Amino acid sequence: MKEKKAIFMGLSAVKIILLVGLFLLPVSSSSAQAPPDNDVDADDKECIFYAYTKSMNHNFLISNNSSQFGERIYVFHNCDFLDIYSDGSFIAGSNNSFNFPLGIGIFNLTFETNQGSKSFEGLTFYPDSLEWEGQYYDLNNPARNEQMIELNLSNEKQNWAVGISILMVWFLATFIYWKLIQSYVDKNFIEEVVQ
């Protein structure tokens, strides 16, 4: 009798689980609906673009006051058109994603699209390298305001500074010691008075 009751209870539990599963099945399938239809006009879509440069295995996204390594800019967009200006001069433009070369230096770029414009200021472009080429360019750039001096002249100035500082320290030490000795002698000087 206990075996029949246990089998009946096991079958009842299976029936309850199946019933609950059938009720939950339409709920879970309704939450996985297809995406809504895109009834948005082509003119109403948001225009998104980004631009970057490459150097070796590194990419550098263009933003205000950033340093870019690489002499070619890669532009990706979904706009109707995109034109790029540098300080008011047209550089490049296209209806599709594109790339174009840009020289080394500091630029202010303006990206104009069908939905407006965005400006990036103070972009510094370096050669397509992260190490020695950029440093070589910095050292040999005639537009730099820094002045370099020769190594021999630098060593000569250091030697003069060392010699003068040695003389100053010797003079101050001797003068101070002389004053201390003189004050000690004056303080302990005994005078004989004869009557």
CATH number at residue 78: 2.60.40
Determine the Cα–Cα distance for residues 10 and 4; give it in Å rounded to an integer. Answer: 10
In the structure encoding, which two tokens stand for residue 53, read together? 């440069």
86 vs 44 pLDDT, higher one:
86
Q: Which residue in the block uniquely carries the two structure tokens 């510094």?
A: 124
**pLDDT of 175 above 70:** yes
Confidence at 191, pLDDT banded by 50, 70, 90: low
Q: What pLDDT is stored for residue 25 in this prediction?
A: 66
**Strands annotated E in the chain:** 49-55, 58-61, 67-69, 72-77, 82-86, 89-94, 98-101, 105-113, 116-126
Q: What pLDDT is stored for residue 166 in this prediction?
A: 95
Confidence at 11, pLDDT banded by 50, 70, 90: low
Determine the Cα–Cα distance for residues 87 and 169; give it in Å rounded to an integer. Answer: 58
Residue 66 in contact with residue 75, Cβ under 8 Å?
no
In a domain, 20, yes or no: no
In a domain, 157, yes or no: no
36 vs 167 pLDDT, higher one:
167
Give me the chain's average pLDDT, please: 78
**pLDDT of 75 above 60:** yes
In a domain, 133, yes or no: yes
Q: What pLDDT is stored for residue 87 in this prediction?
A: 84
Q: Which residue in the block uniquely carries the two structure tokens 């040695």?
A: 166
Residue 55 in contact with residue 129, Cβ under 8 Å?
yes
Instruction: Find the domain containing 90 and state its range.
Output: 44-140
In a domain, 87, yes or no: yes
Angle at the Cα of 158 from the Cα atoms of 157 and 161, rounded to 5 degrees:
85
In a domain, 185, yes or no: no
Which of 18-27, 100-109, 167-176 has the lowest average pLDDT?
18-27
Average pLDDT over residues 161-175: 92
In the structure encoding, which two tokens stand for residue 106, read together? 């500091």
**pLDDT of 52 above 50:** yes
**pLDDT of 189 above 80:** no
**pLDDT of 159 above 60:** yes
Determine the Cα–Cα distance for residues 68 and 50; give it in Å rounded to an integer. Answer: 14
Angle at the Cα of 160 from the Cα atoms of 155 and 166, rounded to 5 degrees:
125
Determine the Cα–Cα distance for residues 152 and 159; give it in Å rounded to an integer. Answer: 11
In a domain, 75, yes or no: yes
Q: What pLDDT is stored for residue 188 in this prediction?
A: 78
Q: Which residue in the block uniquely carries the two structure tokens 């069908």?
A: 114
Q: Which residue in the block uniquely carries the two structure tokens 């040999």?
A: 140
Which of 48-52, 54-58, 106-110, 132-136 has the lowest average pLDDT?
132-136
In a domain, 123, yes or no: yes
